[in-house]
Amino acid sequence: MRTLIETQRQLQAGEVGSRDLVEESLAVIAAPEGEGRRAFLTVYAERARREADAIDAARAEGRPLPPFAGAPLAVKDLFDIAGEVTRAGSRVLDGEPPAEADADAVAQVRRAGFIVIGKNNMTEFAYGGLGVNTTFATPLSPYDRAHGRIPGGSTSGGAVAVADGMVPAALGTDTGGSCRIPAAFCGIVGFKPTSTRVSKRGAFPLSETLDSVGPLANTVACCAALDAVLVGGYGEIEGPLPAHGLRIGVLEGFVDENLEAPVAAAYEAALKRLAKRGVRLEKIKIPEFADYVTATAKGGFVGAEAYALHRRWLETRREFYDPFVRMRLELSGNQSASDYIDLLRARKWITAAVQQRTQRFDALALPTVPVIPPLIAQLEDIETALTVNRRCLRNTALGNFLDRPTISIPCHAPGSAPVGFMLMGETLGDRRLFAIAQGLEAAVRGS
């Protein structure tokens, strides 16, 4: 399995051709025994081949090329592609007009030379952390695939595509954990940036307040490179900060409650490895997390803003919604204008209070998800699915509410159930968090 950084190096060195990489991606996606038919909703096979041939010809002639010219990439189904209806993993929008232009994020990756190989499956309208899609089928987590476990959502297809080697990286979104939950459940790296850093224009919204656009890949450096492209750069990567002496606040209470045994064991083992590398670990409790729970009890920003967007379709195309998504949307209609104003105020003071408590740390540490990937068969009952969904989102959603960059790194032993280790940085401190995460990655992974 090539990482994105390896792919870039091999292309630039002439060790592999872009057409070769495209054909490899298409072959893995089309493999009858694989998850490609569930991980992708659209595959741009012929366009990808044409673009690859043009890049190979340009490289052979010695013409200057952008840094990732010829590297395959997948994008979530909620990003606009010019000339296509943006479905967002649903049939509700089938009658909407096609997009007039690519989403800004898609335009940025094309500018850097990436070949968009296809659009990934996702939780319908990105509204859920499970990754289940009853309309287009659910791609399976690589773990215990014979028994069928969820991939995490909402960027489900993107995570599976990277984990299975269909593409070296994928473009996703994260509103409450949608890059990091599937990364944790599929054993890869997922990053949520500060929400305002990457343009969201042309990405179908879930919550305009909390939405963010982020990468999924196999390493921290790969995510950092793609993030640099998304903010207008060319894949620049800062060097890793030395692990020795970094001060990490280990969150205690709320985020470490009721962890499944494999999660608790892998997380604690990762903390011990960090300590052995000279990382200064200090436990910290955040009492304001209880206030966060109270403030978001009626659905929070996601519920209010998603309901406002979907009201007209709930009235005219209700039958096309996934029942799980429809129920959550309709329940969210109970928030009043005063509830929303209270939520805005609560977010402001909770964010300030948490900032005051944590400013002495280089980053915060917490488990990405408190459970290993649940079996799909266990989620057929909607009430059970709601409970598991809330549990999956519990830790990751904090990063969105506080608007802090957050990254999930695998910390489980090879062959065991996937577990994510999450690092949280300061608002707009995204690039510093990448440098910290690169310095800690080997210890977190146990390599």
- pLDDT single digits (tens) 57-69: 999 999 999 999 9
Residue 1 scores a pLDDT above 90: no
Whether the CB-CB separation of 99 and 84 falls below 8 Å is answered with: yes
* Residue 383 and residue 410 in one domain: yes
Q: Establish if 382 belongs to a structural domain.
A: yes
* Residue 280 and residue 397 in one domain: yes
Instruction: Report the percent of the chain where pLDDT is more than 90.
Output: 98
In the chain, how many H helices and how many E strands?
Answer: 16, 11
Ranges of beta strands (E only) in 63-200 are 72-76, 115-120, 169-173, 189-192
Q: Establish if 242 belongs to a structural domain.
A: no
267: which 2 tokens? 């997380």
Q: Establish if 433 belongs to a structural domain.
A: yes
Q: Which of 188, 204, 230 is the last residue of a domain?
A: 230
* Residue 17 and residue 146 in one domain: yes
Q: Establish if 183 belongs to a structural domain.
A: yes
> Which of 179, 105, 124, 127 has the alpha carbon at shortest distance from 301?
127
Catalytic residue among 76, 119, 192, 200: 76
Chain-wide mean pLDDT for the chain?
98
* Residue 50 and residue 120 in one domain: yes
Confidence of residue 192 (pLDDT cuts 50, 70, 90): very high
Q: Establish if 264 belongs to a structural domain.
A: yes
> pLDDT digit string (tens) for 267-323?
999 999 999 999 999 999 999 999 999 999 999 999 999 999 999 999 999 999 999
* Residue 400 and residue 273 in one domain: yes
443 SS3 class? helix
pLDDT score at 238 = 86
> pLDDT digit string (tens) for 10-36?
999 999 999 999 999 999 999 999 999
* Residue 157 and residue 217 in one domain: yes
* Residue 354 and residue 418 in one domain: yes
Residue whose entry in the numeric block shows the structure tokens 């990254």: 407
Residue spans of alpha helices (H) in 216-334: 220-230, 261-276, 288-295, 300-316, 323-332
Q: Establish if 240 belongs to a structural domain.
A: no
pLDDT score at 199 = 98
| Residue 408 designated active-site | no
CB atoms within 10 A of CB 396: 32
pLDDT score at 18 = 98
* Residue 217 and residue 252 in one domain: no
DSSP state of 249: E
Whether the CB-CB separation of 201 and 103 falls below 8 Å is answered with: yes
Confidence of residue 203 (pLDDT cuts 50, 70, 90): very high
Residues whose CB falls within 8 Å of the CB of residue 261, separated by 6 or more in sequence, listed in order: none
Residue 168 maps to which CATH number? Answer: 3.90.1300.10
* Residue 272 and residue 224 in one domain: no
DSSP state of 375: B
Q: Which of 177, 202, 230 is the last residue of a domain?
A: 230
**Residue range 37-51: mean pLDDT, rounded:** 98
Residue whose entry in the numeric block shows the structure tokens 């989620």: 379
∠ Cα 72 77 83 (to 5°)? 85
Residues whose CB falls within 8 Å of the CB of residue 102, separated by 6 or more in sequence, listed in order: 79, 80, 81, 82, 110, 202
Catalytic residue among 178, 207, 212, 332: 178
CA–CA separation, 364 and 396 (whole Å): 13
pLDDT score at 50 = 98
Q: How many domains does the chain have?
A: 2
Q: Establish if 276 belongs to a structural domain.
A: yes
Q: What are phi and psi of 251, to 5 degrees?
A: -65, 135
Q: Which of 195, 230, 265 is the last residue of a domain?
A: 230
Catalytic residue among 18, 25, 141, 154: 154
Whether the CB-CB separation of 88 and 120 falls below 8 Å is answered with: no
Q: Establish if 103 belongs to a structural domain.
A: yes
* Residue 207 and residue 340 in one domain: no
Confidence of residue 342 (pLDDT cuts 50, 70, 90): very high
* Residue 339 and residue 406 in one domain: yes
| Residue 154 designated active-site | yes
| Residue 76 designated active-site | yes
Structural domain containing residue 219: 4-230
